[in-house]
Amino acid sequence: MSKGGFFMLQTENKVKQINCYHYIEGKYVASKDGRTFQNINPATEDVLGDVAIGGREEVDLAVNAARKALKGEWGKMPLRKRSYILHKIGDLILERIEELARLETLDTGKPLWLSKSVDIERAAYNFHFFADYMISVGAETFQQDDIAIHYAVRRPVGVVGLINPWNLPLLLMTWKLAPALAAGNTVVMKPSEVTPMTATVLAQICTDAGVPDGVVNLVHGFGDTGAAITSHPKVDAIAFTGETVTGSAIMKSAAPTLKKVSFELGGKNPNIIFADADLDDCIDTTLRSSFINQGEVCLCGSRIYVERSLYDDFLEKFVARTKEMTVGNPFDENTKVGALVSKEHYKKVLSYIDIAKSEGGTFLTGGKRPDGIDKGYFIEPTIIIGLNRNSRCVREEIFGPVVTVLPFDTEEEVLEQVNDTHYGLSASVWTSNLKRAHRVAGQIEAGMVWINTWFLRDLRTPFGGMKHSGIGREGGIHSFDFYTELTNITVKL
Ligand code: NDP
């Protein structure tokens, strides 16, 4: 049993049972009514453990603890000390990288090497980055002739609700938690019901690093749990990552109390490949942008557009390389594609495969469970051609290892198709023509455009989407702008 009530019974490499509790005011607690649900390993369909279900009562306790802590030591702590604590959280995440990566893989079904090298490493880096960044963030000052000096001061926004999805559980939670804490806020976190484990450990890590009790609280659950946070009158802001429809529901429930919101929502991101692209580089990256994390990344480029003169060559190489990808046991180091996160999501992705068949799509590879794997929610990496631009599989977010490929003839035509969507999260453009690269990138209606690459991130840069893909930006100063309020002070000279 590890510290504080996160129970983990282990024998060698096998975890027998892991129960997740809420974390309120520095302690693990069960729900008052004792309700729990089962957490399922998506790669084996075995039960991993029980997870407490929080209701209004638990959310209320967590919010009140966060409110109290806002007035306590945390708010008054010297910046340098708070920065030190954030660094320490990052260090402790790295110290526990093996354990956290294993928990992330058990919860999500993603390959262990990926959990380790991306999810957990980047979670630690989120803290290290904001620990350094926070001490350099200022605000504006203006001298108005010889009349006045105006200066703005930043202060925490208050109690922030952090609500996250299941695809990159610790990475996305820390992407919000680190700047929220850096700016002096207190929080109530809610991880997705299907991936509760790493956030449960994170809460304890924060305490171990020196975060005072009540600053970081966590409530598990589903259904009404998230809504109890987003509608709570004592919550000042909501940072949410998840589906577009959920964002819309959250906005509605946050409206009566006028909460500040930051939304990172869904996407259906285009990957535009011109005939003069470096094909080998493009194929290497397109394999990642299509199938990494089982295609369960909001930034995945699932709509691939290829200039007609390259179309056949591209498909030949792309299909051959996709067929080489090993699908299966996430703990095997050769596995490239693990299990989808849950039975519900697996069924949703399969339903899109059926839709593609009914819409006349041709499957060049995939479109089914891998042969010989009887348990777990596995789907082969799937490439579909022959669909038209209005097909549901071309327009809707599938969020699985499924891509569609369409040919195009002109720059104008592809831009028109690419922007014909209510999503606007990200895009990639592949070309060796520099002028065209900038010209096209500047016309795509998306919050992030990569030229000749994908998912290359610098945490100082704005991250987020336009249209139905989000509200606001995260990263660097953008995170600080969300997690702080500005007060302008004017001194008459
Ligand atoms: P969901 O929107 O279903 O859920 C996200 C979180 O919101 C979960 O914790 C969920 O809890 C909670 N929730 C659900 N309903 C409400 C509600 N009414 N009020 C408050 N909270 C609620 O997203 P998924 O977990 O299915 O994640 C996949 C989605 O996330 C995809 O659309 C993907 O594109 C998007 N995403 C966007 C990113 C971006 O940066 N733009 C990054 C990563 C993912 P519960 O446990 O009950 O489901």
Along the 493 residues of the chain, how does pLDDT read in single tens digits? Answer: 344 445 554 444 555 688 999 999 999 999 999 999 999 999 999 999 999 999 999 999 999 999 999 999 998 899 999 999 999 999 999 999 999 999 999 999 999 999 999 999 999 999 999 999 999 999 999 999 999 999 999 999 999 999 999 999 999 999 999 999 999 999 999 999 999 999 999 999 999 999 999 999 999 999 899 999 999 999 999 999 999 999 999 999 999 999 999 999 999 999 999 999 999 999 999 999 999 999 999 999 999 999 999 999 999 999 999 999 999 999 999 999 999 999 999 999 999 999 999 999 999 999 999 999 999 999 999 999 999 999 999 999 999 999 999 999 999 999 999 999 999 999 999 999 999 999 999 999 999 999 999 999 999 999 999 999 999 999 999 999 999 999 999 999 9
Closest residue by Cα to residue 411 from 444, 380, 381, 383:
444
CA atoms within 13 A on the CB side of 125: 14
Q: Which atom of ligand 1 is nearest to the CA of 264?
A: 41
The pLDDT of residue 17 is 81
The pLDDT of residue 14 is 57
The two counts, helices (H) then strands (E), for the chain are 17, 22
The pLDDT of residue 264 is 98
Pairing of strands 7-11, 14-19: antiparallel
Tell me the DSSP string of 202-252: HHHHHHHHTPPTTSEEE---STHHHHHHHT-TT--EEEEES-HHHHHHHHH
Amino acid at 30: A
d(CA 63, CA 24): 9
Q: Which two tokens stand for residue 381?
A: 């990496």
d(CA 392, CA 386): 13
| Best residue among 195, 298, 340, 346 to mutate for probing ligand 1, ranked by most atoms within 8 Å of CB | 298
The pLDDT of residue 8 is 54
Amino acid at 431: T
Pairing of strands 141-144, 148-156: antiparallel
- The CB of 192 under 6 Å from ligand 1? The reply is yes
Say which residue the tokens 């790669």 belong to: 43
| CA 193 to centroid of ligand 1, rounded, Å | 10
- The CB of 262 under 6 Å from ligand 1? The reply is no
Enumerate the β-bridge partners of residue 159. Answer: 186
The pLDDT of residue 75 is 86
- The CB of 249 under 6 Å from ligand 1? The reply is yes
Contact indicator for 310, 277 with CB cutoff of 8 Å: yes
| CA 361 to centroid of ligand 1, rounded, Å | 29
| CA 141 to centroid of ligand 1, rounded, Å | 39
Q: Which two tokens stand for residue 272?
A: 């535009």
Q: Which two tokens stand for residue 441?
A: 């990138």
Q: What are phi and psi of 189, to 5 degrees?
A: -100, 145
Q: Which two tokens stand for residue 258?
A: 């006028």
d(CA 16, CA 48): 7
Number of Cβ within 10 Å of residue 161's Cβ equals 31
Q: Is 298 a catalytic residue?
A: yes
**Ligand 1, atom 40, residue with closest C-alpha:** 264
| CA 47 to centroid of ligand 1, rounded, Å | 22
**Ligand 1, atom 39, residue with closest C-alpha:** 264
Q: Which atom of ligand 1 is nearest to the CA of 242?
A: 30
Q: Is 264 a catalytic residue?
A: yes
> Residue 466 belongs to what H/E stretch?
none
| CA 245 to centroid of ligand 1, rounded, Å | 9
Catalytic residue among 298, 300, 397, 445: 298
Among the residues of 25-120, which ranges form H helices?
Answer: 56-70, 73-76, 79-95, 97-108, 112-114
- The CB of 479 under 6 Å from ligand 1? The reply is no
Cα radius of gyration (the chain) = 23
> Residue 162 belongs to what H/E stretch?
strand 159-163
Q: What is the pTM of this model?
A: 0.96
d(CA 203, CA 96): 13
Closest residue by Cα to residue 450 from 428, 423, 475:
428
d(CA 405, CA 102): 34
Contact indicator for 39, 50 with CB cutoff of 8 Å: yes
Contact indicator for 90, 132 with CB cutoff of 8 Å: no
| Best residue among 164, 246, 293, 457 to mutate for probing ligand 1, ranked by most atoms within 8 Å of CB | 246
Catalytic residue among 25, 58, 264, 474: 264
Contact indicator for 263, 163 with CB cutoff of 8 Å: no
Contact indicator for 157, 481 with CB cutoff of 8 Å: no
Name the packing angle between helices 79-95 and 121-133 (round to 10°): 170
| CA 356 to centroid of ligand 1, rounded, Å | 25
The pLDDT of residue 9 is 46
